[in-house]
Amino acid sequence: MNENVKEKVLQGHKNGMAMMLIIVAAYIAAIALVVITAIGLDDPTAFIAGATSDRLNLIIFVFSIIYVSIGWFPFLGLKVLKPGEALVLTLFGKYIGTLKEDGFYYVNPFCTAFNPAADTKLGQSGDIAEGKKIAGITINNSDLQFSGAGQSKKISLKVMTLSNSRQKVNDLLGNPVEVAVAVMWKVTDTAKAVFAVDNFKEYLSLQSDTAVRNVVKLYPYDITENVDTTGDGIADDGSLRGSTELVAQRIKEEIQSKVSDAGIEIVDARITYLAYAPEIAAAMLQRQQAAAVVDARKLIVDGAVGMVELALERLNEKELVELDEERKAAMVSNLLVVLCGNHDAQPVVNSGSLY
């Protein structure tokens, strides 16, 4: 990367309106001189003969024709910037500065705007595009769109959104999951953005993909016992599904550490899609259902045991009936069957003894 190039904001060039009026007035004057001198020039051969007036008219006529032919060139120095736009200017390959404030500018007509990422549009971004899109090609892994021609060389300073397509990544346990991330970003240093990397938009997209893979592989999809996701050597309950904010923050920090040298600031990052890969989604759904059934049964059993204990205590307190150990066991068994069963109990009337 070229770290020697530092951003230099050009000031004092907001004289575009005055320069435009001067250029237009000079152009009109040149046209008028062409007409006047053409009428006053009776004999063009008089220049050879040495007539002073005709010679002067002919000289003015020639210079006026030349100016009318090339008088459009100074108009190239007129630059208009809206809020949230910047223009990086180079003169014969040398960086001379950046226009960042909105206004009507006039600069050296030989200056050219430089933006290698002008033809690249990120998915859902608010890139500046004043020209018409002639042709487009989409790259699925990074949602980059390249247009054939007509794109403005201006750089947007607004907060834009990169919405990369879904990626299939293995989590901490090796289960394939699909993740999609939306990254909010903006250009803070235009010189670094255009000179430090070949294409800062492609660079950002690639670093976002890499950061997602690096962070997702540190977490299990669901909460798992004896798993350390923070790197402190202590097991925690971090997971992709339960710690979405924390995972997104780590992705943001990972991307920012990679793109700082490209003059880009990551404003925020959010996980927009998270799911098991289709090939294991059905199996993982059954696993989740089984775990839910086990948890529900455990809760039911805990509640049933508590109710049986309460029933025995109340019977002893009221002294309604004396139960030996065998009768208590039978009562406990019957109550657990009734309370833990999936169907309504069917009462049975016993007309004889319990034995």
Q: Are 55 and 142 in contact (CB under 8 A)?
A: no
Q: Does 95 lie in the same domain as 213?
A: no
Q: How far apart are CA 107 and CA 10, in angstroms?
A: 10
Q: Could you tell me the CATH number of the domain that includes residue 131?
A: 3.30.479.30
Q: Does 219 lie in the same domain as 132?
A: yes
Is residue 42's pLDDT more than 50?
yes
Which pLDDT score, from 0 to 100, does residue 345 have?
61
Domain-terminating residue out of 221, 255, 276:
276
Residue-range definition of the domain harbouring residue 325: 289-340
Q: How far apart are CA 232 and CA 160, in angstroms?
A: 35
Q: Confirm whether 355 is domain-assigned.
A: no
Q: Does 129 lie in the same domain as 220?
A: yes
Which pLDDT score, from 0 to 100, does residue 52 have?
60
Could you read off the pLDDT of 242-271 as tens digits, one per residue?
Answer: 888 999 999 999 999 999 999 999 999 999
Angle between the 52-70 and 16-40 helix axes, to the nearest 10 degrees?
A: 140
Q: Does 126 lie in the same domain as 70?
A: no
Q: Confirm whether 10 is domain-assigned.
A: no
Q: Confirm whether 350 is domain-assigned.
A: no
Q: Does 141 lie in the same domain as 57?
A: no
Domain-terminating residue out of 248, 276, 304:
276
Q: How far apart are CA 92 and CA 10, in angstroms?
A: 17
Q: How far apart are CA 110 and CA 76, in angstroms?
A: 8
Q: Confirm whether 345 is domain-assigned.
A: no
Q: Does 268 lie in the same domain as 241?
A: yes
Q: Does 178 lie in the same domain as 159?
A: yes
Is residue 151's pLDDT more than 80?
no
**How many structural domains comprise the chain?**
3
117 closest CA partner among 79, 76, 159, 152? 152
Which pLDDT score, from 0 to 100, does residue 40 have?
63
pTM score, whole prediction: 0.69
Q: Confirm whether 283 is domain-assigned.
A: no
Between 195 and 303, the higher pLDDT residue: 195
Q: Does 270 lie in the same domain as 138?
A: yes
What amino acid occupies position 255? I
Could you read off the pLDDT of 84-143 as tens digits, one per residue?
Answer: 999 999 999 899 999 998 899 999 999 999 999 888 877 655 565 444 443 333 334 444
Q: How far apart are CA 206 and CA 167, in angstroms?
A: 12
Domain-terminating residue out of 113, 133, 160:
113
Q: Confirm whether 73 is domain-assigned.
A: yes
Q: Does 178 lie in the same domain as 109?
A: no
Q: What is the mean pLDDT of the chain?
A: 79
Q: Are 149 and 131 in contact (CB under 8 A)?
A: yes
Q: Does 167 lie in the same domain as 76?
A: no
Q: Does 261 lie in the same domain as 327?
A: no
Q: Does 68 lie in the same domain as 42?
A: yes
